[in-house]
Structure 1
Amino acid sequence: MPPRLQQLRQLERLAGRPGAFQFARHVQQSTKKHASVAPHASFPGAPAASKKSGLARMPTSSVLRSYLITSMSSSPPLLAACFAVLRRMLDSRSALMNVERNPVLNWLLKTTFYAQFCAGSTRKEVQTSTSAAKTDMGYDGIILEFALEVLDGEGGPETADSATTAAEIETWRTGMLESVWMAAPGDFIGLKWSGLGKYALQLLKEKRDPTPLMERAITEACEAAAAKKVLLLPGAEEEVSNAGIEKWTRSMQERYNRNGPGNAIMYTTYQCYLKSAHAKLAKDLAAAQEGGYTLGVKLVRGAYLNSEPRHLIWDTVEETHKNYDALAACLLKRQYGPGLQPLEGASSDKFPQIDLVLATHNHDSVRKAQAIRNEQAARGEERVKLAYAQLQGMADEISCELVQVAEQAADKALDAPRVFKCMTWGTTAECLNFLLRRAAENKDAAARTVDTRKAMAKELWRRTRGLVGLA
């Protein structure tokens, strides 16, 4: 067989013949004996498969890098080995192994993992990355997040007036203001309340208010964001501190979300793998209705599966999927239903104004949401302000197909989805530490990269066929 034909046959195998890519999901235990990633249909309104691929807008170098990294991350042994090496680099005191002091090592990491998942370490790098995301890829905006980590159990207990507490607050304040400066109106800023420091984390766990110094930093960041019309997405964390997080976030929603639907500045994140997610959402909906403000909602599945008390989480991944999709449907339709009941004593006839972010890498959930949106568009109904969000370097096949749907929506009288990419910024060491912490919190998330690996392999195969005139 000629070498070129051999290469084509190899890429064809990589691209995925029927049944070639069957990998188990392990995000949560499945009730099925063999839970695999099933082939999925396109989104409602998506172009036919014979037309141009949504991934065609990605540079070949990015497609190839995504394929290689997702191939590694979908193999547990390779992923574990890679994380071990990266952790050793980040923890080493040797100049040779220091990613910030060794230029060769820095270049290697910057052109692989860092380039895949992070936006840059300087204003120029970040703005170049965000501009490419919007101009070249067609995304409506970005979610910019400073790679700041404050971990429970590291260091001794702090006090409100300690020098360490003040320094941690200042780091958070300057990082937030820099993020707002780099973001454009309509973009989001991701934030962690625990990023204000170890003492802030202690306050959150105890459901206590922020200190005056923290309050000033929070107000300054929120005022800067509101003045620029940049939106704020506080992330949910482990359940032990979520009650405090929700308390701090709710007070900011009451202050900054009073300009009507479509203009919410502050959002709250709800983790749908928690059995309590619907009750939390019902409580906040009732508070928003009574308080007369728009509730900003970010819906996620959750990222602390390995550290949460098991009784708080749904038993199977199917139950989590069902919970996510049921809550999303109620929010999109602005009506209570089987998945979301009003708070006891609250009216089921009145649903408060909401702005919604569906942050998910699940193709089926996005497809269901778009079907609802298209039905509403066809009937001429008013729709909630909605943004889809995926992480940079992950689920690009979903993001790109949504962009493609948006480009064709006007001609088909369909809903035009708004697509955002979450991009982390900071030094190489800061960002890799951030990513490693996220991976440690949700080790089984690697299984979700299988769909992306398959999509990148098929895109490489499509481009290879084009080069030899077989497209």
Structure 2
Amino acid sequence: MFTVQPVSLDNTEIAFSYKSDDELRKTYLIFSAINAPLLTKAGTKLVKFALKLKLPIHGILRKTIFWQFCGGESISQSEPTIQMLASHNVKTILDYSAEGEKTEAGFEKVTQETLATITRAKTSENLPFCVFKVTGIASAQLLEKIQAKQKLTTEEQAAFERVKQRVNTLCKAAHEAGIGIFVDGEESWIQEVIDDLAEEMMGKYNRERVTVFNTYQMYRKDMLSHLKTAFQRAATYQYFLGAKLVRGAYMEKERERAEEKGYPDPIQPNKEATDDDYNKALLYCINNKQRITLVSGSHNEYSNQYLVLLMQKHSMRPDDPRVYFSQLYGMSDNISFNLAYAGYNVTKYVPYGPIDAVMPYLFRRAEENTSVAGQSSREYRLVKSELQRRKQIADKR
């Protein structure tokens, strides 16, 4: 028998216990800025312009938005973040977040860097997973052409064979290291190719345990049925399914492209529909936990509480290895640290990489915080609440 601790996601003392007063005030200022959409939009344009002109703004970025959302510029620079998270029972997923590689040399560089994260994870129980984007090691144009079933040139076919070799190299290394590896979700017009690669790797490396995880973006109308079909294939071909659930990150781009090209919008009609399918997917995964290992990548408080409830109803221990909760570093600390405090398996995506290369990722994080209803205001409110709590304690001394 085990005792299940109640989980409150409102405890800001636990959520921000890793931050000093000065660090918390800096976080407060950052989210104050992000909480103002016009300021965020103008600031993003200004930073992009400054970087294009090669103005000396790295120091400012390093001490503000990069500090909030990234572990460092290298694996070694990310070590203090890894150790800090581990001291609070939160595991790390090192995510080499450099974007924009478009050459074979660039694809190989990303492959080697991802292998380095696997090598680092092999030496520590505090890094249970690694991650890669297929467009980090392959041409998006090539993937789009393959999904559209267009005939490839001999050169393109050779390039795709190299892509498959890179994917296999990463998944094989993760399997040999005894860790999991996530294949990140991307745009719908290349996602089928990514799904095929991920499922091929699952069939190869998920026979005894889950190594490879595919990502299911629940803001797509068809994703719940897609998850169920993936499970049925896993059951038919006798391998375990690794499922990382997220809501999604390309909504505006998806809708714009659908309108431009005249095909049905693949995105859910509203947030409620996305939330509903996300929670149905959680239920489906827990109901099929004998074959599915679930990573719930959610910043939604209700979904996290719902997953806790599902685990309790299934008499699952908080640290059951078939279920992980995951959030981005620098966001939703009230969810991550309170769940970890209650004994649940929690990971933080910790991006790292050279500042210039990571900025596209950081721009998306800032835009996501302003576009997702209530996200930036919730972060701002929680940090403000903890600052007030600490001030009240200090005043009583």
Fold match by TM threshold 0.5: yes
Aligned counterparts of 1:50 and 1:426: Cα–Cα separation in 2: 32
Give SS of 1:120's match: coil
Pair 434,212 (structure 1): closer, same or farther in 2 beyond 3 Å: same
2:94 is equivalent to residue 172 of structure 1: no
Q: Which amino acid aligns with 1:269?
A: T
Aligned counterparts of 1:376 and 1:124: Cα–Cα separation in 2: 40
Q: Which amino acid aligns with 2:95?
A: E
Aligned counterparts of 2:98 and 2:13: Cα–Cα separation in 1: 39
2:374 is equivalent to residue 468 of structure 1: no
Aligned counterparts of 2:147 and 2:369: Cα–Cα separation in 1: 21
Q: Which amino acid aligns with 1:391?
A: L
Deviation per residue, 1:47-79 (Å, 9 max, x gap): 697995443343333322222222211211111
Pair 51,445 (structure 1): closer, same or farther in 2 beyond 3 Å: closer
- What residue is the counterpart of 1:124 in the other structure? 76
- What residue is the counterpart of 1:223 in the other structure? 172
2:224 is equivalent to residue 278 of structure 1: yes
Pair 77,45 (structure 1): closer, same or farther in 2 beyond 3 Å: same
1:378-393 matched pairs, under 5 angstroms: 385-393=322-330
8 Å CA contact retained: 1:71, 1:453: yes
Pair 63,205 (structure 1): closer, same or farther in 2 beyond 3 Å: farther
Give SS of 2:214's match: strand
- What residue is the counterpart of 1:296 in the other structure? 242
- What residue is the counterpart of 1:88 in the other structure? 49
Q: Which amino acid aligns with 1:220?
A: T
Counterpart of 1:365 (choices 283, 294, 303) is 303
- Structure 2 gap segments, 5+ residues each: 259-263
Query: Displacement of 1:203 after TM fit?
Result: 5.2
Query: Displacement of 1:197 after TM fit?
Result: 3.3
Query: Displacement of 1:267 after TM fit?
Result: 0.5
Deviation per residue, 1:25-50 (Å, 9 max, x gap): xxxxxxxxxxxxxxxxxx97026979
Counterpart of 1:67 (choices 28, 40, 51) is 28
Pair 44,206 (structure 1): closer, same or farther in 2 beyond 3 Å: farther
Query: Displacement of 1:391 after TM fit?
Result: 0.3
8 Å CA contact retained: 2:40, 2:367: no
Query: Displacement of 1:86 after TM fit?
Result: 1.5
Pair 419,52 (structure 1): closer, same or farther in 2 beyond 3 Å: same
Query: Displacement of 1:148 after TM fit?
Result: 2.7
1:155-234 matched pairs, under 5 angstroms: 165-183=103-121, 184-185=124-125, 186-198=127-139, 200-202=142-144, 205-206=147-148, 211-234=160-183
Aligned counterparts of 2:390 and 2:29: Cα–Cα separation in 1: 16
8 Å CA contact retained: 2:329, 2:349: yes
2:282 is equivalent to residue 331 of structure 1: no
8 Å CA contact retained: 2:93, 2:130: yes
Aligned counterparts of 2:130 and 2:314: Cα–Cα separation in 1: 29
Q: Which amino acid aligns with 2:334?
A: E
Counterpart of 1:453 (choices 371, 380, 383) is 380
Q: Which amino acid aligns with 1:128?
A: P
2:350 is equivalent to residue 423 of structure 1: yes
Q: Which amino acid aligns with 1:452?
A: E
8 Å CA contact retained: 1:74, 1:446: no
8 Å CA contact retained: 2:35, 2:370: no
Q: Which amino acid aligns with 1:110?
A: R
Aligned counterparts of 1:311 and 1:463: Cα–Cα separation in 2: 47
Aligned counterparts of 2:176 and 2:194: Cα–Cα separation in 1: 23
8 Å CA contact retained: 1:395, 1:452: yes
Give SS of 1:468's match: helix
Q: Which amino acid aligns with 2:276?
A: K
Aligned counterparts of 2:319 and 2:341: Cα–Cα separation in 1: 23
Query: Displacement of 1:109 after TM fit?
Result: 1.2
More helix by share: 2
- What residue is the counterpart of 2:292 in the other structure? 354
Counterpart of 1:79 (choices 40, 45, 49) is 40
Pair 296,324 (structure 1): closer, same or farther in 2 beyond 3 Å: same
Query: Displacement of 1:442 after TM fit?
Result: 8.4
- What residue is the counterpart of 1:313 in the other structure? 267
CA RMSD of aligned residues (A): 2.8
Query: Displacement of 1:252 after TM fit?
Result: 0.7
Compute the TM-score of the two structures, normalised by the length of structure 1: 0.73
- What residue is the counterpart of 1:20 in the other structure? none
Give SS of 2:176's match: helix
2:205 is equivalent to residue 268 of structure 1: no
Deviates more, 1:126-135 or 1:46-55: 46-55
2:202 is equivalent to residue 253 of structure 1: yes
Query: Displacement of 1:166 after TM fit?
Result: 2.6
Pair 382,147 (structure 1): closer, same or farther in 2 beyond 3 Å: closer
Deviation per residue, 1:350-375 (Å, 9 max, x gap): x8601000000000110111112122
Pair 48,195 (structure 1): closer, same or farther in 2 beyond 3 Å: closer
- What residue is the counterpart of 1:28 in the other structure? none
Q: Which amino acid aligns with 1:218?
A: V
Deviation per residue, 1:425-460 (Å, 9 max, x gap): 101111222222555688613741221111111100
Pair 429,376 (structure 1): closer, same or farther in 2 beyond 3 Å: same
Aligned counterparts of 1:178 and 1:70: Cα–Cα separation in 2: 32
8 Å CA contact retained: 1:235, 1:268: yes
8 Å CA contact retained: 1:55, 1:397: yes
Query: Displacement of 1:422 after TM fit?
Result: 0.3
- Structure 1 gap segments, 5+ residues each: 1-42, 152-163, 335-350, 407-416
Give SS of 1:174's match: helix
Query: Displacement of 1:306 after TM fit?
Result: 0.3
Q: Which amino acid aligns with 2:130?
A: I
Deviation per residue, 1:374-396 (Å, 9 max, x gap): 22228x89967111000010111
Give SS of 1:356's match: strand
**How many percent of aligned residue pairs carry the same amino acid?**
23
8 Å CA contact retained: 2:319, 2:345: no
Pair 250,50 (structure 1): closer, same or farther in 2 beyond 3 Å: closer
